[in-house]
Structure 1
């Protein structure tokens, strides 16, 4: 795929106006207050995996609506107090199996991999968390679940789960609650950005080729799914564009990340048809903590992004932040 979006020199200064709802702050304050009215009730069950260098726990905590969300927590064996990384997953995937993600624990971190409600059947080794909320009117997938009202939208629930995952990892014995970072690829990058704007006290946010950014542009720029789900919906609901875009503005990760307080490490791929680079740059240039933040540009990659090359870059970025008390 050739470069199809803005030229790289224009991307470097692409900072479009974002359609921020007047009541956005109140919407999310009420959402998180409601979620926190339920006991977090973190359950940790030690799992025998045959892995001797790490300890593995099956985690359950209360997310949006008090719904029980699953996660894996993997940490270096022993009882040393460690920093932690919370990871969110790509579209259609679930938490899989704990031995599939060992790098952070091997590097001395606690690693919480949050399951994605209602997902886990699209790729990987599955998920364990249902989404008990009704789907409402929409097309297949998750982009249009609850599209008629931001209070009912799927990503309101998922982003809230993401914030509560940070609360949960901070409550785990042996985790330093002041040294927690968030990361994820694609949909996981969207949750990373939303959580960066909604949760306090994070040390870093590391979204790769993030989804759900600058949605009015994304849904007309690419023909690829999942953004195509919105176009499919509007092809039938021809008079619903204004209402649809209003709903999506409450879950646009570029909008939510404007209030982030932790340095961010982004990546964008210039041949990415799934999450077009201009939408990622829109999020980067509106990101709330520009000092110390950076974006890596992959000129010849699509939505696979940097893959295995990203972790060493993230590890070095996070290690530098944790070594700097002023960050």
Structure 2
């Protein structure tokens, strides 16, 4: 894939106006308040595995509307001290999979909560969390499900699940509730970014190729999925454009980024047609700009010759080193 978006020097300055709805903050405050009184942990039980160096728990947490959301919680075996928790969100079409599939953060010395994505199992990975609200008007895919109104939109539920997972992580055995990190790639990166904008005392954000950023531009410059699913929906439902654009404005990562306060580490590939680079730069360049306080510390790694895979294992190593330095106090939390 050749370079198709803005030149890198323009990307580094790219901070477009992405207006949030006037009731954006009230919408999310009301959404999260609706489940705030519901106990966040439904069930936490040890999970027998063949893994000798980590301990695993099968977790059910109460997400949007109290719906059960599944997650794997892992910790290094034999470690009694409370540990920082990396709450990781999965990519589009994926699920939490099997307990041994994602162990990087655990073997790096963290507790790790891997959160399922409701109603997405089967495309790229296994999951076991249903979405009982799937009958709202819209298209057949997750990104178009309920897209005609923000109240019924699928990502309202998924973002709520993501925030609730942070609260669940703080209540899990062996977790340090003051050091909870939101992490993810693609859809997971978009969810982690939303969490950073909605949870004021998050310890850190680790995001790469974040989905749902500057969405109005994304659906105009790429037809790769999942954005392509929105394009396909509008190609048939031509009269729905205004309603769809309004709904998407309530979940745009740029609006969440402007409200975020936690130190942040980003990764972007310049040949990414799935989550175009300008959309990620739009969020990065405005990260923390709307808080009125000191700018949070932020770091960005750019991969000029990579697409949606960005830096792969090289980038993960950079994430681990950055987070270890941040949590040890050797990285200033403010820019």
When normalised by structure 1's length, the TM-score is 0.97
Report how far residue 310 of structure 1 moved: 2.1
Q: Distance in 1 between matches of 2:34 and 2:69?
A: 16
Structure 2 matches for 1:255-270, cutoff 5 A? Answer: 255-270=255-270
- Structure 2 counterpart of 1:67: 67
Match of 1:14 in 2: 14
Supply the distance in 1 between the matched residues of 2:38 and 2:172 (Cα, whole angstroms). Answer: 18
Q: How does 1:218-233 map to 2 (within 5 A)?
A: 218-233=218-233
Q: Using the TM superposition, give the Cα deviation of residue 40 of structure 1 relative to its aligned residue in structure 2, in angstroms.
A: 1.2
**Counterparts in 2 of 1:74-113, with a 5 A limit?**
74-78=74-78, 79-113=80-114
Matching residue of 1:271: 271
CA contact (8 A) 2:69 2:116 kept: yes
Moved more, 273-282 or 249-258: 249-258
2:323 match? 318
Per the alignment, residue 295 of structure 1 pairs with 300
Q: Shift of residue 17 of structure 1?
A: 0.2
Aligned pair 1:58/2:58, yes or no?
A: yes
Match of 2:145 in 1: 145
2:217 matches 1:248: no
Q: Which residue of 1 aligns with 2:212?
A: 212
Does residue 309 of structure 2 align to residue 308 of structure 1?
A: no
Q: For the Cα contact (< 8 Å) 1:34–1:65, is it kept in 2?
A: yes
Give 1:315 deviation, angstroms. Answer: 0.9
Q: 1:303 & 1:95 partners in 2: Cα distance?
A: 20
Equivalent residue number for residue 2 of structure 2: 2
Listed one character per residue, the Cα deviations across residues 45-79 of structure 1 (whole Å, up to 9, x for unaligned) are: 11121212111000111000000000000101132
| CA–CA separation in structure 1 for the residues paired with 2:148 and 2:313 | 38
* Secondary structure class of the residue paired with 2:239: coil
Distance in 2 of aligned mates of 1:71 and 1:194: 19
Q: Encode CA deviations 1:169-224: one digit per residue, 9 max, x unaligned.
A: 10012111001111101000110100010113111101111111001100011011
- Indicate the residue corresponding to 1:176 in structure 2: 176
Give CA deviations for 1:284-308 in whole Å, capped at 9, x if unaligned.
1111174420111110011112222
Asked if the contact 2:262/2:296 (under 8 Å) is kept, the reply is: no
Task: For residue 120 of structure 1, report the CA deviation from its aligned partner.
Answer: 1.7
Cα distance in 1 for residues equivalent to 2:135 and 2:261 = 33
Count of aligned residue pairs for this structure pair? 326
Contact kept in structure 2, 1:18 and 1:255, CA below 8 Å: yes
Quote the residue 1:114 is aligned against: 115
Matched with 1:238 is: 238
The 3-state SS of whatever aligns with 1:147 is: coil
Which residue does the alignment assign to 1:189? 189
What is the CA distance between 1:82 and its match in structure 2? Answer: 0.7
Worse-matched range after superposition: 49-58 or 161-170: 49-58
TM-score normalised by L of structure 2: 0.94
**Gaps in structure 2 of 5+ consecutive residues:** 290-294
Gaps of 5+ in 1: none
Please list the CA deviations of residues 72-127 of structure 1 after superposition, one character each: whole Å capped at 9, or x if unmatched.
Answer: 00101132211110000000000001111112111211000000000121113x00
Cα displacement (A) at 1:243: 1.5
The secondary structure found in structure 1 opposite 2:141 is coil
Q: Is the 8 A contact 2:56 2:74 kept in 1?
A: yes
Matches within 5 A, 1:23-34: 23-34=23-34
Q: Which moved more, 1:35-44 or 1:93-102?
A: 35-44
